[in-house]
Structure 1
Amino acid sequence: MTGPVMDNVERLDVAADVSRALDYLGNEKKVSNDIESDDIKIEEIDEDAESVNVMLPEIVRELVDFEDDPTMPVITWRFFFLSGTLTALGAWLTQMGFFRTTYIPYSIYFVQIAALYFGRIFASTLPQKQIGWRTFSFDLNPGPFSIKEHVAIVLAANTGATNNLGDYVLAPLQIFYDQPMNGWLAILFMLSCVFIGFSFASFARAFLVENPATPFPRTLQQVAVFNAMRKSFDEDAASAQKQMRIFWWFILGFFLWQFLPEYAFPFVSSLAFLCWFSKNPKAQFLGSGLGGAGFLTVTLDWSNIGSQCVYYPYWAQVNIFASSVIAAWLLIPAAFFTNAWGSALYPIQSQTLYLKNGSVYPTADLLTASYGLNETLFEEIGPPMMSAQLRWNYFAAYVAYLGSFVSCALFQGPDLWRTFKAYRQAKPTSTDKLTEIIRRYPAVPIWWNLVLFIIPVIILIVLTAKGVLYMPIYMLFIGLAIGAVIVLPMAYIYSVSGYQMQVGYFNELFYGYAINAGGSRHPVGALSYRVISGQCWYEAQSMLADMKLGHYFHIPPRKVLLAQVWGICVGVPVNYATILWVCQTKGDVLKGLVTDPNRQWTGQTVISLNNQSISFALVGPKRLFADPIYTPMLYGFLVGAIVPCILFILHRRWPRARFDLWSIPIFCDTFESYYGNISVNFFTRFVLGTINHLWVKRYHFKFWKKYAYLCSAAADTGYNFNLLVIFIAFSAAKTIPMANWWGNNVQSVERCFHVPTQGI
């Protein structure tokens, strides 16, 4: 058959292929209108399909166990001992990293592994004996080390084995202003911000944790590791034992491999092909992944890739890659080669502020002895200049911020509204099997959440009124309100994509304008505001992910909350003690008065935060953006409001085209988060993500389900262990640099020797 008929058939086949491909890309992100027309056939799922809601993503149905044993112990003395020890260790290591050039990442998979082996040792060796007296007694050996007990330990560490954003305030106060906060007040401040985030998360639980359409991709990775580890101890679990053997081999392989890019052979961290074939400065700039655009540059360093290429859904990876291509491969070269926005004067990929002559802007000199603005100096030097990239970073940040709200309202609004009405009427918000199981346990009483909110708010009010936080009290209430409002839309993005939205740029801008209403312009006030509005949001997001982990393993909600509160009560005092120790012993180094011979205690994060607070609180965005070239930045809010509306209209008109997969928040937040200088990662990550999703997952799903999450977690763990060994062996006591050789060239490890630092 030939002619027009055959042409039509071929076009229909192509259209069908495209439609199926788009359906596949979006099968992990569905809006309410997609559910009714879903192609899933119930009889194809499994024999228990009647009890498992088909709204649950396929990978959730494959990984999660739908059987529950309510008699399993959860909170035991083993839980308190193991979680307390592992949480304290993680809080100390992570908090130290805030001040260092290099630091030890604390892998949550290390916690999973250590907790399992020590828990099983305790269960098999300790005698059955009652310890204590009456109410204050417990079983020395409460029985087998259960999966719920194991997960609860990890929940506590997830929450507490981190650094606390209170370091934004406490460290600059002591280092730059010699006004250390009272220890008890500091701990109360740190705890209050975290617990308010807990209360925000608890109120969002019905919308995100009990919602079957929000899988929390990174949490599923932990589920896969839990399953393989636990099942590998069963005598007849040959498959799980094989999984764990591969898990350990991957850990060993990546542990050994990372010595090359991290220490001995850093050349493999950035294979810049264009630099190998041309010495032309333009080609070198395009090809360099360490200071250039990174065009088609490949990295073999797992620290540049990470397990996101596995657990991020593919539609999110497409958005991230598209954003990175436009930022790094199009806009940066265009500005660099045309000297747009003064690229000949300022390094195009820089977060530093500059004078109009290209020298560094003296932000610290603008601060008077009474913490006011040196008006004379400011009149002399004028507002700071930014690199081209930093300008469009701000623009993209404002698009992403407002776009998060508009996108969530348009695409998820109907579902969220139905959930809200059901919640108010005390009706079930979801009817899937997982939610039915968890509702058999007592819910967290609302008064618990109110206590977690009201008492910390009272503490923050007192601290603000007494001037401890250096900001006006009206900004406290604004910060709390904004923190509460952003939880749902931004946590929804995280729950379906695994991508964490950033809110720093908006908080800086908002505080700089709002403070004009009156009150101290002390730079630390801006940092206090960022902690209150930011810590609450980040804690809420982390807590929701942990709630989902508890949801997957059928842990009673009250015990999930107890584990998280315990983790914070252990972690925060350790965070504070670490901050205090570093500031007292390394203060002169962090101030720049003394040079650390090992070049490790640089305090670069603290210095950057202090400069930002001086710029946006003391000087203020009105003065900063006095130059007309900054005016277009604020139009980002308008773009963030309009573009999601256009995508929503297109999606309603052509639903099979999946315009709902064009995520403005993720696209623009990636744009904002691309800081330049290291543009080596996104191409390799996208290639691996494409192979993972479009070949392995699509055509070898059983293999993918069995090994994908497990191997990516093993790679992360091996990398973390490698950095721990490198830190201890080569930099903890004395820095031992790798000898310079062909693969570790002192001028350029990627051997791009002709990359220009200024515009062409």
Structure 2
Amino acid sequence: MWWPANLVQVSLFRALHEKEERPKGGVTRTQFFLIAFICSFAYYVFPGYMFEMLTSLSWICWIFPTSVLAQQLGSGLYGLGIAAVGLDWSTISAYLGSPLASPWFATANVAVGFVFVMYVLTPICYWLNVYKAKTFPIFSDDLFTSTGQEYNISSIITSNFHLNITAYEEEGPLYLSTFFAMTYGVGFAALSATAVHVLLFHGREIWEQSKSSFKDKGMDIHTRLMTRYKQVPEWWFWSILVANIAFTIFACQYYNDQLQLPWWGVLLACAIAIVFTLPIGIITAITNQTPGLNIITEYIIGYIYPGYPVANMCFKVYGYISMTQAVTFLQDFKLGHYMKIPPRTMFMAQVVGTLIAGFVYLGTAWWMMETIPDICETTDSSSPWTCPSDRVFYDASVIWGLIGPRRIFGDEGVYEAVNWFFLAGAVAPVLVWLAHKAFPKQEWIGLINMPVLISSTGMMPPATAVNYTTWVIAGFLSGFVVYRYRPDWWQRHNYVLSGALDAGLAFMGVLLYLCLGLEDISVDWWGNDLDGCSYATCPTAKGVFVEGCPVFD
């Protein structure tokens, strides 16, 4: 069967290699890009400034403005997002990337996983009051006490960023919202599912490819064409690897009071990144979805080295982010391979780009911290600088680093049973593999990718329900409807449209900030109330008081 996964490759090749000619009665790809770019650029002034509610149209909240249940169900930003939709490309592509670049079967796997976690598992756990779920919001990345109040982290942390055991015992155990707790369980399952899936479905292929690579056999046309260029010597890669590990160990040892991570933590993080780059790279190559190592890196260092939140963050960066950057590096090299760019040119572009990006990121962060008052504070609802990803990063450092997994997910914690997700994730790919072997003619069984399906909600939070629902709708329209009825248009314009939408959004976003954001000029009206679901974060347990929420008897 001819699936959109193949069409993604066709579309990429046509975009990179096909001769640019004006089709009869149509426009060239360059003209199409400019038209789409201008439309995206002009449109983003509405969701980005004038009518921000377009980010999440949660119309169920409008119908039931005083109902906590309805707003929990309908809020696209703070609830389950039923029927919520965002008419904003940044809502669609902010966390999962462009849906136009994912094959349709991968989009279907993400959709099934999202529906199961968001609309089956989470509501069941919430309305059965599992782990006092009704005491907290149904969807939130905040940390809570057993009474539903926000956890006072500053009271349990010492001046040198260590856990004050006495203060923690007085404050009591830390609780998570229903969905936040489920995402950690899903993260456990996704890790074991990735390892088992790659072993079952791609183990033989990896072995055969490894043997053929040592014998210089099986080169495709692209590899043969690239042999005319000088290859990058392996010692270049080894030199950079060794130098970076050495500098990292030096920094962690010299600034140990600040970074907290010992030298062996750096080596362990690098080992985790190296081991998981291959299986996760395979999943990414097939589905354009990348399972993360963030939870397992936090889990490991949290058990080995509890009470050190900064060390936990550093370990996650060296383990998880290194793997992610390695996969991105391979993607760029593969693109250069298809475009016949000399490998040494690609290598130097990567090195120079990394150096420039490092200084730019550091300078930008420094400038924003100095110039934007109360950055990342959520108390000022009018400020766009709420930093959702950084808040989740901070919460993770508290959960896994400061308090430690043993006091939350271990024998001393509330959520010990969540560890069973590891077993569930390992069993799920086995069931698919057995079904595929039992019914080989049913091709759709082979398209069930458990690592992608299970890890589909891995970006939530900070991603919200409306990010997913809108992404799935756009991916379905692109990967199935357009492919089915206009495959030639899809092949010619898919990547061009995706790039144009991204570019238009980026340019208008920068322009709005430079012209209006720096001067703190905003439009104050109901259309800029992002969600309009003020009760979506309210608890429903009896007697729990939260400011601005009704109290249930």
TM-score, length-scaled by structure 1? 0.65
User: Mapping of 1:585-596 within 5 angstroms?
Assistant: 585=370, 589=374
Cα deviations by residue, 1:201-256 (Å, 9 ceiling, x for unpaired) = xxxxxxxxxxxxxxxxxxxxxxx2x568x947xxx888996322222121111222
1:245 to 13, 22, 31: 31
In structure 2, the CA distance between the partners of 1:754 and 1:563, relative to structure 1 (3 Å rule), is closer
Q: How many Å separate the matches in 1 of 2:302 and 2:267?
A: 16
Task: State the partner residue of 1:357.
Answer: 147
Residue pairs, 1:612-691, within 5 angstroms: 612-625=396-409, 626=411, 629-657=414-442, 658-675=444-461, 678-691=464-477
In the alignment, the residues of structure 2 paired with residue 269 and residue 453 of structure 1 have an alpha-carbon distance, to the nearest angstrom, of 42
What is the Cα deviation at residue 348 of structure 1?
1.8
- Judging changes above 3 Å, is the alpha-carbon distance between structure 1 residues 674 and 448 closer, same or farther for their aligned structure 2 residues? same
Please tell me the residue identity of whatever aligns with 2:100.
V
Q: Does 1:304 align with 2:94?
A: no
Would you say the 8 A contact 2:11–2:494 is kept in 1? no
Asked if the contact 2:56–2:76 (Cα under 8 Å) also holds between the matched residues in 1, the reply is yes
Question: Are the counterparts in 2 of residues 383 and 627 from structure 1 also a CA contact under 8 Å?
Answer: no
State whether structure 2 residue 175 is matched by structure 1 residue 394. no
Letter in 1 for 2:219: T
Q: What are the equivalent positions in structure 2 for 1:118-517 lying under 5 Å apart?
A: 224=15, 231=20, 242-275=28-61, 277-278=63-64, 280-306=67-93, 308-425=98-215, 427-428=216-217, 430-468=218-256, 469-515=259-305
Q: Is the 8 A contact 1:470 1:524 kept in 2?
A: yes
Q: Which amino acid aligns with 1:637?
A: F
Q: 1:550 Cα shift?
A: 0.5
Return 502-511 or 365-374, whichever deviates more. Answer: 365-374
Partner residue, 1:84: none
Say which SS state the counterpart of residue 655 (structure 1) adopts.
Answer: coil
Task: Tell me the distance in 1 between the aligned counterparts of 2:500 and 2:392.
Answer: 33
Partner Cα separation in structure 1 for residue 48 and residue 275 of structure 2: 41
Query: Residues 354, 701 of structure 1: CA spacing in aligned structure 2 closer, same or farther, 3 A cutoff?
Result: same
Is the 8 Å Cα contact of residues 68 and 538 (structure 2) preserved in structure 1?
A: no
- Displacement of 1:478: 0.9
Using the alignment, how far apart are the partners of 1:590 and 1:246 within structure 2? 39
Q: Corresponding residue for 1:758?
A: 539
* Partner of residue 551 from structure 1, selected from 328, 333, 337: 337
Which ranges of 4 or more aligned residues in structure 1 deviate by more than 6 Å?
A: 236-240, 595-598
* Other structure's SS at 1:757 match: coil
- Is the 1:434–1:552 contact (alpha carbons within 8 Å) kept by the matching residues of 2? yes
Q: Structure 2 counterpart of 1:290, which letter?
A: L
From 700, 705, 709, the equivalent of 2:495 is 709
Are 1:528 and 2:314 counterparts? yes
Q: Which residue of 2 aligns with 1:64?
A: 13
The answer to whether the 8 Å contact 1:348/1:759 transfers is no
Distance 1:750 1:580 in 2: 31
Instruction: Indicate how the Cα distance of structure 1 residues 374 and 58 shifts in structure 2: closer, same or farther if over 3 A, else same.
Output: closer
By how many angstroms is 1:484 displaced?
0.3
- Secondary structure (helix, strand or coil) at the match of 2:175 reads coil
Report the secondary structure of 1:358's partner residue.
coil
Contact 1:364 1:611 in 2 (8 A): no
Q: 1:331 to 1:62 in 2, by over 3 A?
A: closer
The alpha carbon displacement at 1:409 in A equals: 1.4
Task: Report the AA paired with residue 540 of structure 2.
Answer: G
Change (3 A) 1:753 1:587: closer
- Contact 1:305–1:681 (8 Å) recurs in 2: yes
Quote how far apart the aligned CAs of 1:720 are: 1.6
Give distance in 2, aligned partners of 1:453 and 1:239: 53
Q: What are the residue-to-residue correspondences of 1:699-738 with 2, within 5 Å?
A: 699-732=485-518, 734-738=519-523
Gap runs ≥5 in structure 2 = 542-553
Q: Which residue of structure 1 aligns with residue 326 of structure 2? A: 540
1:676 Cα deviation after fit:
7.5
1:617: Cα distance to partner? 2.4
Aligned residue for 1:476, secondary structure, equals: helix
Rounded to whole Å, the distance in 2 between the matches of 1:651 and 1:399 is 21
Residue 389 of structure 1, CA deviation: 0.9
Q: Residue 305 of structure 2 aligns to a residue in which SS?
A: helix
Q: How many percent of aligned residue pairs carry the same amino acid?
A: 26
CA separation of 1:753 and 1:370: change in aligned 2, threshold 3 A: closer
Judged with a 3 Å threshold, the aligned counterparts in structure 2 of structure 1 residues 754 and 636 are, in CA distance, closer, same or farther, namely closer
The answer on whether the counterparts of 1:402 and 1:637 sit within 8 Å (CA) in structure 2 is yes
TM-score normalised by structure 2 residue count: 0.87
Deviation string 1:118-140 (CA, Å, 9 cap, x unpaired) is xxxxxxxxxxxxxxxxxxxxxxx
What code does the residue aligned with 1:652 have?
K
| Shift in Å, 1:258 | 1.9
CA distance in 2, matches of 1:725, 1:548: 33
- What secondary structure is seen at the aligned counterpart in 2 of 1:646? helix
In structure 2, relative to structure 1, the CA distance for the partners of 1:671 and 1:724 (3 Å cut) is: same
Tell me how far apart the structure 1 counterparts of residues 366 and 533 of structure 2 sit (CA, whole Å): 42
CA contact (8 A) 1:367 1:614 kept: no
Tell me if the contact between 1:344 and 1:759 (Cα under 8 Å) persists in the aligned partners. Answer: yes
Per the TM alignment, residue 339 of structure 1 is displaced from its structure 2 partner at its CA by 3.7
- Equivalent residue, structure 2, for 1:573: 359
- Structure 1, 404-413 or 252-261: larger mean CA deviation: 252-261
Q: What secondary structure does 2:464 align onto?
A: coil
Question: What's the CA shift for 1:322?
Answer: 1.1
- Where 1:250 maps in the other structure, the secondary structure is helix
Deviation for aligned residue 1:524: 1.8
Instruction: Output the amino acid matched with 1:263.
Output: Y
Shift of residue 647 of structure 1? 1.2
Displacement, 1:437? 0.9
Q: Which deviations, in whole Å up to 9, do the C-alpha atoms of 1:292-311 show, x marking residues without a partner?
A: 22212232112122373322
Go from structure 1 to structure 2 and tell me whether the alpha carbon gap of 1:665 and 1:598 turns closer, same or farther (over 3 Å shift): same
TM-fit CA distance, 1:755: 4.3
Contact 2:127 2:134 in 1 (8 A): no
Deviations 1:145-165 (A, max 9, x none): xxxxxxxxxxxxxxxxxxxxx
- Report the more deviating stretch, 466-475 or 505-514: 466-475
State the Cα distance separating 1:372 from its structure 2 match. Answer: 3.4
CA distance change for structure 1 residues 478 and 337 in 2, over 3 Å: closer, same or farther? Answer: same
Contact 2:81–2:466 (8 Å) recurs in 1: yes
- Matched letter for residue 515 of structure 1: Y
Instruction: Kindly indicate whether the alpha-carbon contact (under 8 Å) linking 1:349 and 1:677 is maintained by their aligned counterparts in 2.
Output: no
CA distance in 1, matches of 2:129, 2:440: 42
Name the aligned partner's letter for residue 301 of structure 1: D
Query: In structure 1, how many angstroms separate the alpha carbons of the residues matched to 2:197 and 2:341?
Result: 32
Distance in 1 between the 2:248 and 2:338 partners?
35
Say if 1:304 and 1:355 are closer, same or farther in 2 by CA, change over 3 A. same
Name 1:11's counterpart in structure 2. none
Alpha-carbon distance in structure 1 between the residues aligned to 2:327 and 2:26: 31
Helix, strand or coil: the match of 1:707? helix
